[in-house]
Structure formats: structure tokens, C-alpha cells
Amino acid sequence: MKILFYDTKPYDKETFEYLLPDFPGISIDFLKTDVSPKTATLARGYDAICAFVSSNLGKDTLDVLHECNIKLLLMRCAGFNNIDLETAKKYGITILRVPGYSPEAVAEHAIAMALAVNRHLHKSYIKVRENNFSLVGLMGFNFFKKTAGIIGTGKIGAAMAKLCHGFGMKVLAYDVYKNPDLDFVTYVELDELLASSDLISLHCPLMDSTYHLINKDTIEKMKDGVILINTSRGGLIKTEDLILGIRARKFFGVGLDVYEEETPNVFEDRSDEILEHSVTARLLSFPNVIITSHQGFFTLEALEAIADTTLSNAKSYETGSLISGNIVNP
């Protein structure tokens, strides 16, 4: 099987090439450019393409991939909301993803962001580098004996709940399905979680029912001085309403590894650009907001798991024995 790998970063190439000898018969050509209607033509002559959560896999791109006889789309990520599933189904394109690679990686990043905004680590780092050792403006609060609200208790949410429990926090959770492994968690309705939590962390998928779950109305129901963390999907939060909440001093701090406007920014160096009329720039202007570049997954263990699962998906397609849990469009 010949795979064309789009939007290659050095760490992608290194990890996949390291594991490739374990999958004889599979070859990969790596491209730095991402897939789009224009670059999809490069897939002609390949059996599959490999793309990421930020790739453009809308109808126009899939039209071209179909013309190039691509029948397999390998997603090296869990998310697939960037794919036009109806068009893929129409063309008989099989989509395989990596549903879980390292839940602990994302959960640990979420708790790191919560700690950073709570203890103002981003501000204190800069102050000390400028020989300013004053503690003014750096006061945080103990997580011990506070309440954490976890929205979504799948693998990542469960890992986050365990970390919060380890800090001595009371853990509330909201999910359609209760996780039987979390016997220390109290499941409540969303309104109660919002009103009771000192720390709220989002770990649910982006669907019609969760789109803009955090909005003006739900923000008003939160405690004053709450910390909000999102390492899941940007569309869970209505950014304009979040900005209004920050300006109204509703939040002690906000940590975002994902956000609605992230697509042109994720994994790219835009340091020489001026982000005019940018929601990102507005968020970055607030002293109690930390934004990271979709790096929650970015650990050695997670990258190796992503590469191994992606290559296993390719092998399973080739042998006609698809891994059922990895299929996006059965």
C-alpha cells in the first residue's frame, strides 16, 4: 500500500519512519503541504492519504480525491468533524481514525493549564526574567478541597477526573453516559456542575448537541472566579461570549488548547505576522488567559501510539479486517 502523508512535521516523519519496518508492504511519501482541493491531485497513484484534524477534507477536496481513485482516508487523530462524511460515503471512501492514543497526555496538559492560570506561571516567568521578584498580582488558590467539574467522562475526561481527585478535589461530572470506573465522581446535571465548580474542564466531543455548549447563558450560571479549561474542541465554546465573560471578570483564568479560530494557526509559525481583526489576538490580550497550540496530545508516548494505530489501520484495510472501533463511517 502506498500512502501520501499530508502536512508532515519533523516529529511525524520521525515517528512513522521508526515504526514503518514493522509494517512490511506499506510505504509512505511525506509532504509538507496540507491537503486541499489544489493539492489533492498529488494523491493520484496512491492507495490512501493520511491527514490530520486541521486538514481541509470538505466536499471539494473529496471530489478531487475521488477522481484520483483514493478509497482510504487515514486520520492520525481522533477528531473527524473536518470531513464531509456524506461525500465520503457517496464515493465509498473508508475513513479510519485513532480514537484513543494517550488520554493521560491530554489530561495532564489540561491540569498543567489549570495550574498555570491559577498560579499565574505565565506572568511570573516573564517577571522574574526581568529581575522583578514582586509577588503582587500572582496570588492563586488551593485546588485542595475545591470542586472540579468534568464535562465528558470518556477516556480523557476520566483521566482528568483522576488527576483532580489526586489533588484532593471533590469531582463532579456531567455526561450522557456514566463511567462505572469513576466511583469517586458524583454525576450531576449540567446546571449544578456549572454553579458548583471552581474548575471546569471540557472533555466532550463536538456534536450538534454540544456546539457552543459554553455560551452566554451557561457562563452566567458559573461561579464567579471559576477557571475554565478546554483541551477538547474549539467549537464547544462560543468565543464572543467567552470574551464578554472575561471582560465581565467572570473567570479567575481561562486555559485554551483549542479554540474556534485555531485552524490557520495550529502547528504553524506565524510569529512574523500581525494578527489583525483576530479573535486569537483578542484572547491573547487578556492577562488571565493562556493559549497553547493544540499540544495536549504532544508527548512521545502519544505520537508513537498514533503512528502505530494509523499503520495498523492501513494494514487492516489491506487485509480486509477493519478494526471496528476505528471506523468513522461503517
Q: Give 239-270 as a DSSP string.
A: HHHHHHHHHTT-EEEEEES--TT-TTTTT---
Catalytic residue chosen out of the listed positions 97, 120, 203, 294: 294
CB 108 within 8 A of CB 255: no
Place of cell 494517550: 102
Query: How far is it, in rounded angstroms, from Cα 260 to Cα 283?
Result: 11
Query: How far is it, in rounded angstroms, from Cα 287 to Cα 209?
Result: 31
Catalytic residue chosen out of the listed positions 109, 262, 277, 282: 262
CB 47 within 8 A of CB 72: yes
Query: How far is it, in rounded angstroms, from Cα 260 to Cα 198?
Result: 24
Distances (CA, A) of 303 to 56, 145, 194, 293: 22, 35, 34, 16
Distances (CA, A) of 159 to 89, 133, 163: 34, 35, 6
Query: How far is it, in rounded angstroms, from Cα 177 to Cα 185?
Result: 13
Please choose, from the candidates 303, 319, 321, the residue with its C-alpha nearest in 3D space to the C-alpha of residue 26. Answer: 319
Burial class (CB in 10 A: 0-12, 13-18, 19+), 174: buried
Catalytic residue chosen out of the listed positions 14, 233, 261, 304: 233
Query: How far is it, in rounded angstroms, from Cα 92 to Cα 89?
Result: 5
294 an active-site residue?
yes
Identity of the amino acid at 135: L
233 an active-site residue?
yes
Active site residues: 233, 262, 294
